């Protein structure tokens, strides 16, 4: 068989690299040697790994601490004697106290590189009851993932969103 389109046979090989782990599992990179073409293909038979709630909580804590928020972790991943529905994080700024319940993204439609697909799982009934008590008492309560944490910082006046969509930590001038 001849080589297609005049490409030498040794330059027809294809290099495939599958990115594993984290939020990038299931991406396949094809680089056609000799042609300089690089394309990314999502492998339809593989699903992306949705981050665990622990991973979401770690990212949220890092974001809050970068904004100068003191964060205490109250998450219990085993049966314990704490109040049922107690949020994962208790947070303090110089002017406010708030709760944050970390939730991982829903599996359905999740894509790690498309922020609009990071829809958080809903609150369980006991978590919703705790949230309702907080709201009734005038205590701030937020829930969700990194996107909702960014929105909480904006609501608290600790960050702004630039026109480019980038979160800027600190007060607007």
The predicted model scores a pTM of: 0.69
Boundaries of every domain in the chain: 4-42, 53-169
What is the dotted CATH code of the domain comprising 53-169? 3.40.1350.10
Section 48-73 average pLDDT: 91
Of the two residues 106 and 173, the one the predictor is more confident about is 106
Section 119-139 average pLDDT: 95
Please check the confidence at residue 105 and state whether its pLDDT lies above 50: yes
What pLDDT digit, counting tens, does each position of 86-96 carry? 999 999 999 89
The pLDDT-based confidence of 165 (bands split at 50, 70, 90) is confident
pLDDT at 69: 96
pLDDT at 89: 95
The pLDDT-based confidence of 111 (bands split at 50, 70, 90) is confident
Please check the confidence at residue 147 and state whether its pLDDT lies above 70: yes
| Alpha-carbon distances of 135 from 27, 29, 74, 99, 142, rounded to whole Å | 42, 48, 19, 11, 10
Per the DSSP assignment, residues forming a β-bridge with 18 are 28
Residues 6+ apart with CB under 8 A from 152: 98, 100, 142
Nearest by Cα to 118 from 105, 108, 104: 105
Q: What is the mean pLDDT of the chain?
A: 77
Q: Percentage of residues in the chain with pLDDT exceeding 90?
A: 48
Q: How many angstroms separate the CA atoms of 158 and 67, rounded?
A: 7
Please check the confidence at residue 67 and state whether its pLDDT lies above 90: yes
Please check the confidence at residue 20 and state whether its pLDDT lies above 80: no
């Amino acid at each position: 068989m001849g080589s297609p389109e005049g490409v030498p046979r040794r330059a027809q090989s294809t290099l495939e690299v599958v990115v594993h782990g984290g939020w990038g599992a299931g991406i396949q990179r094809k680089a056609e040697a000799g042609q300089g073409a690089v394309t990314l293909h999502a492998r339809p038979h593989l699903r992306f790994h949705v981050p665990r709630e622990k991973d979401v909580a770690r990212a949220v804590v890092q974001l809050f601490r970068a904004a100068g928020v003191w964060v205490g972790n109250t998450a219990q991943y085993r049966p314990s004697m704490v109040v049922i529905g107690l949020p994962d994080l208790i947070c303090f700024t110089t002017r406010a106290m708030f709760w944050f319940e970390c939730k991982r993204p829903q599996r359905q439609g999740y894509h790690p590189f498309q922020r609009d697909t990071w829809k958080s799982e809903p609150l369980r009934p006991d978590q919703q009851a705790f949230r309702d008590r907080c709201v009734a008492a005038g205590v701030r309560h937020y829930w969700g993932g990194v996107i909702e944490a960014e929105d909480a910082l904006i609501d608290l006046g600790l960050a702004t969103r630039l026109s480019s969509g980038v979160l800027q930590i600190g007060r607007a001038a």
